[in-house]
Structure 1
Amino acid sequence: MFPKNTWYVAAMPEEIDAKPLGRKVCGESIVFYRGEEGRVAALEDFCPHRGAPLSLGYVSEGKLVCGYHGLEMGCEGKTIAMPGQRVRGFPAIRAYPVVERYGFIWVWPGDASKADESLIPVQEWHDNPEWAYGGGLYHIQCDYRLMIDNLMDLTHETYVHSNSIGQKEIDETPCKTTVEGDMVITSRFMEGIEAPPFWKLALRGNHLADDVPVDRWQICRFTPPSHVMIEVGVAHAGKGGYEASAEHKVYSVVVDFITPETETSIHYFWGMARKFNPKDKALTATIREGQGKIFGEDLEMLERQQKNLLAWPERHLLKLNIDAGGVQSRKIIDRLIAEEQGGAVPAAETASA
């Protein structure tokens, strides 16, 4: 189950070029394309004539043309024309609220009358000369909540990412989890440690020494429906840690937009926005490649985890203090789903662990 009356990242703009894009979001089969003046449109991926996927068609003069018999669709889901046929009386298909913003295509798969563009979360790093961004997309066969668990509990880095960002101090340093309204925050601060390989690379990329002790931070923020932003970085030890001035640290935000495809598959839009040496395009490419490998290391673990959970559905998962971020995030998701369905809504909770 997933909330539907909310905005999800559906695609990156470059995925919707001359051809339409078919993508399933929260169980909804949707076709995305650019209509008149290049504006993005989103319709049911279903031709009202014979049920063919409209995503197998093409775009002509801002109209979506079915690749089966040439039926033309308008951006609002109404049939416009078809060679040699009268089709304007066809019932309209569903049109979804869709917005292009912050370098992503956002879609609202729920009740269109409740869609509010002001609810799209602001991304301060987008189109900001003080920041640089690089990212990508993975298709993963797992429940979207498993990815939220993964990102809200970074102790797995010691084991899954041992050659890049993992280190024993993550295990040894307690994390703190708090809930502020619909936001869950899990944070960990490490002092006087050696920087792991990825962060040594980042230090060099900001013209800082990589062979001295550093202070490291990880601040994970979950917001509904399934977005996780993680403040990460290191500073030379004794310079103020997270609060250090820019000349003594490397500071980034790991961007995670997790979009459910089905109950057991996701579109995972990942990236890193960094606030140091933003004009260095080679550094952006290097960091993107490194981040892609790090995220790729999670894929097998998550997909095999999902298979285990499907094979043994009667087994209850155990909860430790390191799981608090994922547990609290799931409580918020469950409440939002219950509100949409008009069921009992759990009392609001503020918790720490």
Structure 2
Amino acid sequence: MFITNTWYVAARSDEVVADAPLGRKICDQSMVFFRNAAGEIAALEDFCPHRGAPLSLGRVVGDTLVCGYHGLAMGANGRTVSMPCQRVGGFPAIRSFPAHEAHGFIWVWPGEAEKADLALLPPFEWLGNPAYGYGGGLYHIGCDYRLLIDNLMDLTHETYVHASSIGQKEIDDAPCKTRVEGDHVITERFMSGIEAPPFWRMALRMNGLPEDQKVDRWQICHFTPPSHIMIEVGVALAGQGGYHAPDAVKAASWVVDFITPETAHSLHYFWGMARKFKPDDEALTAQIREGQGKIFAEDQEMLERQQQNLLAWPGRRLLMLNIDGGGVQSRKVIDRLLAAQAAPSTPAAA
């Protein structure tokens, strides 16, 4: 069901504070995240080996996570360090997970620990790049993570779900094209000489550009495993080169979508926008975050109700249209990687 030998975003860095653990379920595995005395991140099973209490209800003391039930102290390696008036040398270790903190996120590897490799952390143009301003948030959504991938790889729904913000009829009129490059799926749509919708009028205005002129608009959706979607979006004053226009005449951004499965029917959605204009303007960051958050809230109801329908009618066949190409191809990549993960490893030849 889930690709596990990979890195997922487990939390924003600011969610795990110095003195308190954070419990989170990822790929059907209950985990607890905490910081040691040096501020380094650790991840363990959210299970105390004494009586099975969730360690996320405990507290952090020095380099240990102390269970809130009977005071058992766990180390970052999953071994019991101490417990009041008890000998703990024979206590069984619990599972620890490879975890790493980078660029404002905490990443976790839920699969085989020996296969974890920091070199496999996904690179993105906007991560750690001072040319971009970033703001985002987190939604918990009650649906299969693949439904959100379908949603984000087909932006035709914007015309209907987001009619008051980023939707417009020209999206329906512009054909989208999908291509696959290895494990990378790209769906793109370009619109020329159109009116900017409300969100992009605001972006133009905040970037010191006229909002009442025709624009060229683009949407380029990138899926990469296990479930990351980055979407290049923006508008440029019409006739200036569109996507390739100079920065001075456009408002361009990356829509950031880190989709982390929780269970078969729920997910953690780390969303944001990395904009390539006025990166240091904190007021603009807050304004865009608020607007984008409202847009994603509109998706949440649709996705959760869709999931309920699919569970109620599990045998119903769904139609596949050309606009579904991005989601279909992304699912094919996921299925192929799941099959490879499930295949028995072949012993090396002597």
Q: Tell me the TM-score normalized by structure 1.
A: 0.96
Is 1:276 matched with 2:277? yes
The residue aligned with 1:346 is none
Instruction: Output the CA distance in 2 between the equivalents of 1:199 and 1:179.
Output: 29
Contact conserved, 1:133 with 1:274, CA < 8 A, in 2? yes
SS in 2 for 1:38: coil
Q: Deviations over 1:313-351 (max 9, x none)?
A: 0112110000000000000001111111117xxxxxxxx
In the TM superposition, residue 11 of structure 1 has moved relative to its aligned partner by 0.3
- What is the number of residues matched between the two proteins? 344
In the TM superposition, residue 300 of structure 1 has moved relative to its aligned partner by 0.5
SS in 1 for 2:114: helix
Amino acid at match of 1:260: P
In the TM superposition, residue 198 of structure 1 has moved relative to its aligned partner by 0.1
The residue aligned with 1:3 is 3
Aligned-pair identity in percent equals 71
The residue aligned with 2:120 is 119
The residue aligned with 1:350 is none
Amino acid at match of 1:259: T
Instruction: Output the CA distance in 2 between the equivalents of 1:115 and 1:44.
Output: 17
Instruction: Output the CA distance in 2 between the equivalents of 1:81 and 1:35.
Output: 16
The residue aligned with 1:222 is 223
Q: Deviations over 1:23-64 (max 9, x none)?
A: 000000000000131100000000001100000000001200
Instruction: Output the CA distance in 1 between the equivalents of 2:75 and 2:278.
Output: 45
SS in 1 for 2:96: coil
In the TM superposition, residue 123 of structure 1 has moved relative to its aligned partner by 3.1
Q: Deviations over 1:234-254 (max 9, x none)?
A: 000000000000111011000
The residue aligned with 1:14 is 14
Amino acid at match of 2:39: G
SS in 1 for 2:14: helix
Amino acid at match of 2:322: N
Instruction: Output the CA distance in 2 between the equivalents of 1:131 and 1:332.
Output: 30
In the TM superposition, residue 99 of structure 1 has moved relative to its aligned partner by 0.3
The residue aligned with 2:139 is 138
The residue aligned with 2:190 is 189
SS in 2 for 1:247: helix
The residue aligned with 1:246 is 247
Instruction: Output the CA distance in 2 between the equivalents of 1:188 and 1:24.
Output: 35
Instruction: Output the CA distance in 2 between the equivalents of 1:38 and 1:124.
Output: 27
Amino acid at match of 2:228: H
Tell which deviates more after alignment, 50-59 or 118-127.
118-127
The residue aligned with 2:107 is 106
Contact conserved, 1:102 with 1:123, CA < 8 A, in 2? no
In the TM superposition, residue 122 of structure 1 has moved relative to its aligned partner by 1.7
Q: Deviations over 1:186-210 (max 9, x none)?
A: 0000000000000000000110000
The residue aligned with 1:304 is 305
Amino acid at match of 1:79: T
In the TM superposition, residue 279 of structure 1 has moved relative to its aligned partner by 1.8
Structure 1's unaligned 5+ residue stretches are 344-353
The residue aligned with 2:58 is 57
The residue aligned with 1:161 is 162
Amino acid at match of 1:15: E
Instruction: Output the CA distance in 2 between the equivalents of 1:157 and 1:27.
Output: 31
In the TM superposition, residue 129 of structure 1 has moved relative to its aligned partner by 2.3
Amino acid at match of 1:280: D
Instruction: Output the CA distance in 1 between the equivalents of 2:89 and 2:125.
Output: 44
Amino acid at match of 1:234: V
SS in 2 for 1:324: helix
The residue aligned with 1:351 is none
Q: Deviations over 1:215-241 (max 9, x none)?
A: 000000000000000000000000000
Instruction: Provide the alpha-carbon RMSD of the alignment.
Output: 1.0
The residue aligned with 1:206 is 207
SS in 2 for 1:157: helix
The residue aligned with 1:96 is 97
Instruction: Output the CA distance in 2 between the equivalents of 1:197 and 1:88.
Output: 63
SS in 1 for 2:267: strand
Instruction: Output the CA distance in 1 between the equivalents of 2:240 and 2:178.
Output: 25
In the TM superposition, residue 134 of structure 1 has moved relative to its aligned partner by 0.3
